[in-house]
A and B are shown apart, each in its own frame.
Chain A
Amino acid sequence: MYVSESRGSTPAAASRTAARGLPGPGRRSAVASTVLALGAVSLITDVSSEMVTAVLPLYLVSGLGLSPLGFGLLDGVYNGFSALVRLVGGHLADRGGRHKQVAALGYGLSALCKPLLPAVHTLPLIGAVLAADRTGKGLRTAPRDALISLSSPPEARGRAFGVHRAMDTAGALLGPLVAFLILRRAADGYDAVFTVSFCVAAVGVLVLLLFVPSRTTRPSPATGAERPSLRAAVALLGRRELRGLALCAVALGLATVSDSFVYLMLQRRLGVPDRWFALLPLGTAAAFLLLAVPLGRWADRLGRWRVFVGGHVALLLAYALLLSHLRAGVLPYAVLALHGAFYAATDGVLMAAAAGSVPEALRSSGLALVQTGQAGARFCCSIAFGAAWTAFGDRSALAGAAVALLASVALSIRLRPAEAV
């Protein structure tokens, strides 16, 4: 896909045109080649990481004969560390415009973790390798999203993020399939899965190094006042628009129940049979894949903020279906479709919206700030939801989350921080 699109114009030239926001002939229909290259990198990397994710439980239980329960491979402390890594990654990327280098560091670190997995045989060490893998993910996310936003004209950012997220999700869907094919060929060949996963990840790094231009912005005197520094990054929150956006993202994040809870509720409340349980995340991913581009385009046309808030309304509907006493056979599909639509309308769209409120020189830091706020809020929600479940039961906990979500949506509609974007 990428190769055919990029032929005829070098990626660097294309992205420079895009970064200036010039409509240019044919630019309306084509997504910047940098975005496609980054999409390809994410697709390849997700194939690699989801291969590991898919076989890890089997590897631990069948391959190593371990009982993974009760170890908590990565704990809450790590989640805090991960948020910090994301901010650091954003800040490092902005200094000297090293988005590509920091992203490459992140992708490279994750790739190097793959061959380590079969070399360690105890859960604490496996936990450490997974933590390093996720550190790589934390480092690369903000610079990558900054590159996407910097290489797309502002009026088509929603679509650019949509294309990237769709490619990313396609990789996530392919990964388990590749792992399965390897295990089919070589029973118990977990080491082969990890080795192939490393090779795939290395191809991703190669594509990044070769096809993503290192400079997407030209230093201009106008950005001199926003020279990237930690203070400038923190000062971003002084900007009314970004502050409002981050506030709403945090408020909505505080009412966003984590995926595993949604799947657990699906099973408990709608009686999804056990043998389908492992396939539930695929339903969300499929809807996300199909809707990411159309909703990204909508976001460009109707306003990113509207689509972002609309995505949370979809999540609210999913909660409502889970709480309802309806018992139709299509309900689980409807919940998964709404859950996927929620991701399609929020994940890339928030970045597209936030990009408009952050100056180019601080793009990574700004996006990292918003992402970290959102991720932190969702983590708090998970803890609160678990506590509410313990105290009041699952139904009441979800009802509470629905009320909180309704309040956050109302707040977001009232604040309208990015209506102009």
Chain B
Amino acid sequence: MSTRDRLLVLLAGVLVLASVAGVAVWRAAQRADRRNQVQAGGPAVHAGTVSLAAAGGPRIVFRSMAWGPHRDELASVPAADPEGPRTASGVSCLRFYAAAGTGICLQAERGPVNDTYRALVLDSRLRTTRRVGLAGIPTRARVSPSGRMAAWTVFVGGDSYAGTDFSTRTSILDTRTGDLQPTLEDYTLTRDGKRLRAADLNYWGVTFADDTHFYATAATGGRTYLIRGDVAARTAVTLRTNVECPSLSPDGTRIAFKKRVPGLSPDAPWRLYVLDLATLRDHPTAETRNVDDQAVWTDDQTLAYSLPGDYGSDLYTVPAAAPGTPRLLTRSALSPSWLD
């Protein structure tokens, strides 16, 4: 083959492949555009004012994933009517949590050459009071019951060929003093009375007991631990193994968490469990599907969590005590907070 022939073959090949690539991008773009159209049979969503203030009536504020112009915005519904019409706020978040008039919103920010992520501290009228740049993709967010402390976890990774190292970074922010602890990896962690140091140490899923004490998951050497941490002393101690994404009950006596149950399929390894802090014994909830979420307590008896759904994810509730049945709360929703 002459050089000319080779170039012609290359040109033909490139044209064919470019068409395939172009069609793939075009179809994906069409699909993305469809998500901006209101879905048939989906929840009614209208623009309005969403408040995080106390005494605004029992309500749920969450990320609405329903298709249409308000997709991915914070929305609220009355707690008594979770499938009722949604009021959308105009503030977009990937993950969200709120308590006592303080909200934490983890959102994507479009840049010229890549997307970056940031955490916004929101006041009760959803105005941004603080911005913090994030190192990776947001996954967990929590606010302390008083509304003073905020914590979040992001995934950092994908910098090696074929993206095999994933790590998490968990930060804690004091919204009153503005003091930011960029990573829990700076804490002194103790296991069985001995300081634990490891390069593969990761933390995720903070849940606050009060403005100083919190629980979270720490992982090293292929094991996960429930830890109890102290923000002021910057110390943490391991309590037991195999606890991920803890969520402390409002009365502070129990922790809902996802447990890696032995013998399950490796692609669906977690079940929703509840741990009694006094005895450190756990029991499964009635939810038998794989739960990959940090659950939320709607009250002292009930847990809410997300499962993958047709439009992103759906929210379910289940009693924290062993008997009972899981119930669909609302579709196309993520990251709920129950406010009074």
Contact = CB atoms under 8 A, between A and B. Distances in A.
A54 B136 CA distance: 12
B151 to A, nearest CB: 14
A57 B115 CA distance: 13
Given A277-B136, A281-B159, A196 B21 contact: yes
A2 B127 CA distance: 54
Interface in B214-252: 219-220, 222, 224
A-B pairs, 9 with minimum CB distance: A275-B133, A189-B28, A122-B267, A186-B28, A192-B28, A195-B24, A274-B135, A389-B199, A199-B17
B3 A6 contact: yes
A206 B16 CA distance: 12
Contact of A176 (B2, B114, B167): B114
A71 to B, nearest CB: 8
B25 A189 contact: yes
Interface of A: 3, 6-7, 10-11, 49, 52-54, 56-58, 61-62, 65-74, 122-125, 130, 133-134, 137, 176-177, 180, 182-189, 191-192, 195-196, 199-200, 202-203, 206-207, 210-211, 259-261, 263-264, 268, 273-275, 277-278, 280-281, 385-386, 389-394, 397
B115 A67 contact: no
A203 B17 contact: yes
30 contacts: A6-B3, A10-B2, A53-B161, A53-B163, A57-B155, A58-B137, A62-B94, A65-B292, A65-B308, A65-B313, A67-B139, A68-B155, A68-B157, A73-B166, A134-B161, A137-B161, A185-B29, A187-B35, A192-B28, A195-B20, A196-B21, A196-B25, A211-B6, A260-B159, A260-B165, A278-B114, A278-B135, A281-B159, A391-B197, A394-B199
Interface in B1-24: 1-3, 6-7, 9-10, 13-14, 17-18, 20-21, 24
Interface of B: 1-3, 6-7, 9-10, 13-14, 17-18, 20-21, 24-25, 27-29, 31-32, 35, 94, 110, 113-116, 118, 132-137, 139, 155-169, 171, 182, 185, 196-200, 202, 204, 219-220, 222, 224, 266-268, 292, 308, 313
Nearest to B268: A122
Contacts of A263: 159
Contacts of B202: 69
A7 B3 contact: yes
